[in-house]
Amino acid sequence: MQIKYRITFGYALIVTILLLLVCGTIYFLSVREREQQFEKRLWVKANSTRQLLKTKGVTNDIIISINKNSASSMAEKAVQIYDRNDKLIFEYKDDSLEALDIPASVLTEVKKHSPYYFKTDIRNAVATWVAGDINPQIIIIAAYDDDRVAWLSTLKIALILCFVGSLLIFLLFGYWYAARVVRSISALTAKLTQISSEAFSARLTTGKEKDELQELATTINNLLDRLQSSFDTQRRFLSNASHELTTPLAAISSQLDVALHKERTNEEYRKVFLSVKDDVKRLALLVRSILEIAKASGSVGGIELNKVRIDELLMRIPVEMKKISQLYDVKLSFEDFPENEGYYILYGNDALLYSAFRNIIHNACKFSKDKSALVTLTYTYQNIVIEIKDNGPGIAPEELENIFQPFFRGNKYENTNLIHGTGLGLALANRIIELHKGDIYVESIVGEGSTFSIFLPVDSTKTYKK
């Protein structure tokens, strides 16, 4: 069933229930009000009959005459009077009516509660107990309220017509309103069908009304912005990766072709093999970096998390840098070491965090003038803070926003373009830090060096809650 019909039927169901409650309440209160009015008339009639009985000289014939003359005031009227022994001593009834059949329970009950209202056949009746006189008596008056029946019949027809008419109006209005709401959703759907990977720049119109549809359109636009950014990054990554992979392969192929073109000496073959070896190492480093980027591109739910001591992890890196080059020198500074060692422990992936720190520190050593890097470890009550500082050429301000993009390499100052690299180290480190719900910032002064500040949350147990 379409949404507009579901909205219409739901709206109609609610209105139907409300109308039934209103009409039912009106009818019930009206019935009760008319009954009370008629019971009051019966009581007045019973009281007047009581006064007649007290009047000297008033006989039964006079009472019958009075009731006949006032027959038009009440329909199907009947009067009965009982003595203290529940014996019928007087009876009057309109012509063609059967005598009242009063149960003994009524005569007993009226002596306890007077006046006592009850129904006999289709008529309303009231019984009163006159106990203060010398000869106590029970007076019963019964009549049919034809005016009330006619009035309630008219009221019932009016309420039914109002109910049906109101329901039809609400149905039409509900359908119109539902169709209007769904029309806006259909417009959003039609617009979304026009958006594809080739026309990804199109966006939904949010409109001026501050409603849920505007929030939905805004949310979808934000999602499309993130997807477009992701697709653009993917395209650039694939383009750059293809280029970076093709370059060493082409170099290897051309060097082998030249070597096989004619016979050469052992020394010449050795030079070719050494050159090919360098290209293979570069290719292997590039492939490994791409695989690490792919591994770190998932979600935290897809990696193994354990307790990681950041200080112990950092102390492994100076030895690793020495293996890469004896010129590299990593200085560690653990300031304000906390009494509670738990401040240096977080839940994360040891291998990924080690890879992130190693890549940033490797870059710091590689670009520093004296091939050294200063690593400082501090903490706050919320974060573990790692600062990595070098004294290299610095990064140009216009290049800072791109340094975490895959394959981006700054080359504006001091022969940085001559230093070999894949351009994936910082991109990989940034992704790993994001995966651990951390942040990384860069401050750089051209000609003096750069400082990378990494903030990792201490309370990672809450951070990683699924």
Check if the beta carbon of residue 42 is closer than 8 Å to that of residue 126: yes
Q: What is the pLDDT of residues 302-332, one digit of tens each?
A: 567 788 888 888 998 898 888 878 899 999 9
Position 252 in a domain: yes
* Number of neighbouring beta carbons within 10 Å of residue 343: 17
Same domain, 133 and 258: no
DSSP reduced 3-state for 422: coil
Does a structural domain hold residue 157?
A: no
Whether the Cβ atoms of residue 203 and residue 37 lie closer than 8 Å to each other: no
Q: State how far the Cα of 145 lies from the Cα of 396, in Å rounded to an integer.
A: 101
Q: What's the rounded Cα separation, in Å, for the pair 451 and 389?
A: 4
Handedness of CA 398, 404, 409, 415 (dihedral sign): positive
Last residue of a domain, one of 152, 168, 203: 152
> What pLDDT shows up at residue 389?
93
What's the confidence (pLDDT) of residue 454? 92
Which pLDDT does position 451 carry in this prediction?
Answer: 92
Final residue of a structural domain among 272, 293, 314: 293
Those residues with Cβ within 8 angstroms of residue 454's Cβ, 6 or more apart along the chain or in another chain: 356, 357, 360, 385, 386, 387, 388, 433, 438, 439, 440
* Same domain? 351 vs 412: yes
Same domain for 48 and 107, yes or no, is yes
The rounded Cα 332 to chain-centroid distance in angstroms is 48
Both 315 and 278 in one domain: the answer is no
Instruction: For residue 425, give its domain range.
Output: 303-463
- If asked whether residues 435 and 333 sit together in one domain, one would say yes
- Please list the rounded mean pLDDT of every run of 10 residues in the chain (466 residues): 76 87 90 87 83 70 71 75 85 78 87 86 86 76 86 90 89 82 76 68 70 78 78 65 66 81 84 82 69 58 74 88 86 74 76 84 89 89 88 83 69 47 72 85 88 82 38
What CATH number corresponds to the domain at position 422?
A: 3.30.565.10
Please spell the DSSP secondary structure of 165-182, one letter per residue: HHHHHHHHHHHHHHHHHH
Does the bond joining 406 to the residue before it have cis omega, within 30 degrees of 0?
no
pLDDT on residue 336: 65
Other Cβ atoms within 10 Å of 129 Cβ, number:
20
> What confidence score (pLDDT) does residue 417 get?
46
Say whether both 114 and 255 belong to one domain: no
Residue 314: inside a domain: yes
Domain count along the chain: 3
The pLDDT value recorded for residue 158 is 92
- The reply to whether 223 and 94 lie within a common domain is no
- Residue 252 sits in a domain whose CATH number is 1.10.287
Final residue of a structural domain among 152, 181, 202: 152
pTM score over 0.95: no
